[in-house]
Amino acid sequence: MRRLMKLFVPVAGTIVSVALVASPATANMQVSSVNHVEYRYTDSSICPFDLRVHLHGSYKNVDYYDNTGFLYKTIDTPGGGEPFAVSYSAKGTTLTQRNDAFSTVVIYNHDGTWTYTERGPVNKFTAPGVGIVLLDAGIASWSEPDETLLFMGGPHQAANGDFVAFCAAFG
């Protein structure tokens, strides 16, 4: 024990001396927020007919900054105090999903590019009497802004452009 203390005291003294002389550095910073979304729009790109889309709910957002103030990572997750729901409506039918267990991680590069990764059940729409008509689950990563797919694990119908069953569910 005495040998350990003889070693500890000079090391601790050196660390304290360096800390007092060194100029203070800007600390890494995290900025958390809860974002509420209430947004409606029409999507004409998925099915051969227009879909009315309604996004409603909250999600948690955390931005991570390095010592220079550069935003290097963003993580979005559920947990904003209410569920996040997405509804598609057409031809008298509405399909709704609740996103309760997903994450989106964006890693930003200094050259203006970024990597976008989704994890968990991102899309899971079911139709009465049919079952699941659209499923994106697992993990998928893209290099942005050119949308180059880097990795995909699990079923990803929307990412693969497979909307046949989804569009058929609207009649």
Note the pLDDT tens digit of each residue in 79-124: 777 888 999 999 999 999 987 788 999 999 999 999 999 998 888 9
- Indicate if the alpha-carbon torsion angle 164, 96, 44, 52 is positive or negative: positive
Q: How many domains does the chain have?
A: 1
In a domain, 93, yes or no: yes
In a domain, 15, yes or no: no
In a domain, 22, yes or no: no
What is the average per-residue pLDDT within 16-23? Answer: 37
In a domain, 5, yes or no: no
What is the average per-residue pLDDT within 53-59? Answer: 94
pTM of the model: 0.76
In a domain, 85, yes or no: yes
In a domain, 16, yes or no: no
At a CB cut-off of 8 Å and minimum separation 6, what does 69 contact? 26, 29
**Amino acid identity for residue 72 in this structure:** Y
**Domain coverage including residue 58:** 28-168
- Per-residue pLDDT at 75: 96
